Structure 1
């Protein structure tokens, strides 16, 4: 692929020669290798502490809700704690373990290819759509389904359609129901809804694993725990619904900040088969965004506040991203490659600016759309005006 030397007109990165690209890649390789050679006891202790955090916060929050959820202060505390537990389970535990970041421990309970998480999306579907498709074809329009999730327009390279006028409300809907959209992502529902290239019978057949996983999640959160709470059925039910929405809103905000900011670049499907490792590194950096924050911000985001480092090193334990980020940034500055980093709020603001801009067609698209409408009207009603 030529994306490493072919920059969009609005790119903030410097043009690099092939030799410079390879030198850039070698320095990024060296950063990765130094950390991977140093993995050991502190990294093992970290992930076990994360898992314990998830377990104990879930137990504590569900216990409070089950026995005293009818009390407003207890409901608020229990619901908030359950939401945090679900966030950390998905972001810092599930997401990172499923990337194989801890396979070197040889612990079957933390093996990436077998791990499943507290989410309606199956582990296997996530590993395909995220680990393989997204991390291989990052931000390549038409190949990376995370470019808009089949729902939003986030790039000029996506052809404008009238449905994108609803970009903003659809983005809000995506955030609220994020786990469900991720769960059905592998089904490409837009092919059945918007493009009619897939039948609903095909969707139903392909959704077997999703339906099984979603059923288990629904029963767990909305039937089992509320029922065993007996008189606290309603407080537990509403707490579980709210906790899942909290998790969805935060997870989607982190993902949006990592991929949909104004400076995050998208690419055309060039020669991906011939893309070098160094060129792949460069595409990952140009297509990703970081946001700054304190210790809890990094922890609750699964360290995806360092989205650039995650895309460079998806199999590196995420707790190491804070350590390597300054080194990656220094290499980017040396070679004139834009390192997109800002505060959480600043990045989030640019996300919505971008979504608003992408909701309307550009001048050429408007003209083409108007011409298509006129052509259809003429074909349908033309005879009325010729009589």
Structure 2
């Protein structure tokens, strides 16, 4: 397993020769000179404290309300809070918060496994491979064919349920996201049997502590029907929220296959999409709306990504590298349009017998 989300090292020599080193090395020096790789302990102290307070407020409201259908409002609120917890675990895994590996892993397991019910080790393995080869059909697990297909070649090979869903996947995408929360939990438990998992006993203990505490609270406070309604709404909001954050980042951007291996700078920029917006957008999307900058500098603290965007965009213009950004709604529209287009072979295959 790749063990870190590290970008290629830039030269530490003075920038006396403007064209010395790779294109990424020169960009990295500009970013470092702007101080954008420095840690932000104050920011993360405030952010993690606020998320922790929101989580405490949600569960306090849950126990205070007791048997009431107003609990569905609490479920929706906690779905958003779980999304923010997952974003915090993401930053911890990238070592944006702590420079040390041990502190990052410990905090990541507490927030991810115990707080959200999502395995830190499973996600780390999957996300590291994604960062190394974004949108590469054979190497990026995020575009591997499963229930959805991400290219026409994958659509042509799809059979059974993926084949059926692939015909209508653009229309079904957001409804399917309501199940993504459950998928994260199930995948985390299944990953405990995988050989790459480290500290599997600890990971398993934290996951089952989360699961046991969560279900015990629901069924102790609420009648069975109300508890099930709470569970499904909570996980649905959580899944849709996360999917709405991550889908615009790469879906609908160019994909790579086989030996397609542009250099690091182009591999990250050309396969990523930025989402424009205010600082409120940064908070809601955890800074991942600056996806290009995040992929270039994974360990950069998220509050620096907005400033890095200006430098990276100007540098890409100098080199003639396409830099794609759009609004949030437009990014969803582009992702859905891509899903519809790549599903075309499945729709054509269904029509062909009738036409013959």
Measured against the shorter chain, the TM-score band is: 0.7 to 0.9
How many aligned positions are there?
324
Flag the 1:236–1:284 CA change in 2: closer, same or farther, 3 A: same
- Stretches of structure 2 that go unaligned for 5 or more consecutive residues are 1-17
Q: What TM-score does the superposition give when structure 2 sets the normalisation length?
A: 0.77
- In structure 2, what is the equivalent of residue 226 of structure 1? 218
Q: How does 1:43-82 map to 2 (within 5 A)?
A: 43-72=40-69, 74-75=70-71, 77-82=73-78
Matched, 1:266 2:255: yes
2-structure distance, mates of 1:62, 1:268: 46
- In structure 1, what is the equivalent of residue 332 of structure 2? 348
- In structure 1, what is the equivalent of residue 14 of structure 2? none
Check conservation: 2:76, 2:234, Cα contact below 8 A.
yes
- In structure 2, what is the equivalent of residue 311 of structure 1? 295
Name the SS for the 1:49 alignment partner.
Answer: helix
Residue-by-residue CA offset, 1:206-254 (whole Å, 9 max, x unaligned): 4995876654443232x2222453x677656533432222111011121
- In structure 2, what is the equivalent of residue 145 of structure 1? 141
Check conservation: 1:69, 1:232, Cα contact below 8 A.
no
2-structure distance, mates of 1:314, 1:357: 31
Name the SS for the 2:289 alignment partner.
Answer: helix
Q: How does 1:1-387 map to 2 (within 5 A)?
A: 24-34=23-33, 39-40=38-39, 43-72=40-69, 74-75=70-71, 77-91=73-87, 93-104=88-99, 108=103, 116-117=111-112, 118-130=115-127, 132-148=128-144, 150-156=146-152, 158=154, 160=156, 161-162=158-159, 163-167=162-166, 168=169, 171-172=173-174, 174-183=176-185, 205-206=193-194, 215-221=208-214, 223-229=215-221, 235=226, 238-261=229-252, 264-270=253-259, 279-361=263-345
Residue-by-residue CA offset, 1:97-130 (whole Å, 9 max, x unaligned): 1111122278837757755513343111111110
Name the SS for the 2:290 alignment partner.
Answer: helix
Name the SS for the 1:56 alignment partner.
Answer: helix
Cα distance, 1:21 vs. partner?
11
Flag the 1:78–1:362 CA change in 2: closer, same or farther, 3 A: closer
Check conservation: 2:145, 2:154, Cα contact below 8 A.
no
Residue-by-residue CA offset, 1:3-62 (whole Å, 9 max, x unaligned): xxxxxxxxxxxxxxxx9996532332124323567625xx11111111111211111111
Flag the 1:26–1:205 CA change in 2: closer, same or farther, 3 A: closer
Check conservation: 1:121, 1:183, Cα contact below 8 A.
yes
2-structure distance, mates of 1:141, 1:355: 15
1-structure distance, mates of 2:154, 2:180: 22
Flag the 1:232–1:59 CA change in 2: closer, same or farther, 3 A: farther
Check conservation: 2:119, 2:188, Cα contact below 8 A.
no
- Stretches of structure 1 that go unaligned for 5 or more consecutive residues are 1-18, 190-202, 375-387
CA RMSD, aligned part only?
A: 3.8
Flag the 1:36–1:225 CA change in 2: closer, same or farther, 3 A: farther
Check conservation: 2:109, 2:120, Cα contact below 8 A.
yes
2-structure distance, mates of 1:84, 1:337: 36
Check conservation: 2:118, 2:207, Cα contact below 8 A.
yes
Flag the 1:258–1:185 CA change in 2: closer, same or farther, 3 A: farther
Flag the 1:288–1:185 CA change in 2: closer, same or farther, 3 A: farther
1-structure distance, mates of 2:104, 2:220: 28
2-structure distance, mates of 1:147, 1:232: 40
